[in-house]
Amino acid sequence: MASAHSDGTAGTAGPGGPTGEAGNRLPGGISLKILVAGGFGVGKTTMVGSVSEIRPLRTEERLSEAGRPLDDLVGVEGKDTTTVAMDFGRIDLRPGLALYLFGTPGQDRFWFVWDELARGSLGAVVLADTRRLADCFPSVDFFEQRGIPFVIAVNCFEGTEVFAAEDVRSALDLDPEVPVLLCDARRREDSRDVLVRLVEHAAARRRVG
């Protein structure tokens, strides 16, 4: 057990902090994560894929919580086992600084998986479809309750009426500082702009404290 367990905080107390040369000294570099949440079929994996450098990957967690409600799209291994799949992507911002995007699994039911995903996350994108705006209520509640910075990205599907961002804001009863953007999750530039806005929002929140 004598192996050198490096930690994001270890050895980074010097000037420049983890982002200076100390950051590059970490064997694995710095890794950050952003969550992409929202209702079923709203385009979470599409957004992860459009802005990632690798095609979206899938990883699984097995759960054995008897009696838990099962999601429509989640495979069942046994009578009391559920496999929760998470789609994710990776963006290398520079050598030694990787940003991971995780699509949140299930239809807002696997909160305990969300808790692990949310721990230490930079923030979250809540994707909304104006035809089913209520689908994103649980995601909004989740991030509000935990004080995790989030933005609402309205995925403008073709053939849908384009709502004004302010209409969405009032429909979701959002705090005035929560950014609301319109986007096409298939477009890399749109997804990138949503992420930039989220990180700016997270930075502003840190300033306020």
Looking at 135-143, 152-160, 168-176, 200-208, which segment touches another protein (CB under 8 A)? 200-208
Q: How far is the CB of 50 from another protein (least distance, A)?
A: 10
Residues numbered 86 to 145 that lie near another protein (CB under 8 A) are 86, 88, 90-91, 93-94, 97-100, 102, 116-117, 119-122
CA 177, CA 201: separation in Å to the nearest integer? 8
Nearest residue (CB) to another protein, 78 versus 159? 78
**Interface with another protein includes 77 (CB under 8 A)?**
yes
Single-letter code of the amino acid located at 205: R
How distant is the alpha carbon of residue 140 from its chain centre? 12
Smaller CB distance to another protein: residue 83 or 130?
A: 83
Residue 145 C-beta: closest distance to another protein, Å: 17
Q: List, in sequence order, the alpha helices (H) in 110-187.
A: 111-118, 137-146, 165-172
**By CB under 8 A, residue 83 contacts another protein:** yes
Name the burial class of residue 140, with classes exposed (0-12), middle (13-18) and buried (19+) by CB atoms within 10 angstroms of its CB. buried
Output the six-digit token pair for 135: 């689908």
User: Tokens in use for 119?
Assistant: 């721990």
Evaluate the CA torsion angle 199, 144, 32, 102 in order and state its sign.
negative
Site residues (vs another protein, CB under 8 A): 1-9, 12, 16-19, 26-33, 51, 57-65, 77-78, 80-81, 83, 86, 88, 90-91, 93-94, 97-100, 102, 116-117, 119-122, 188, 192, 195-196, 199-200, 202-203, 206-207
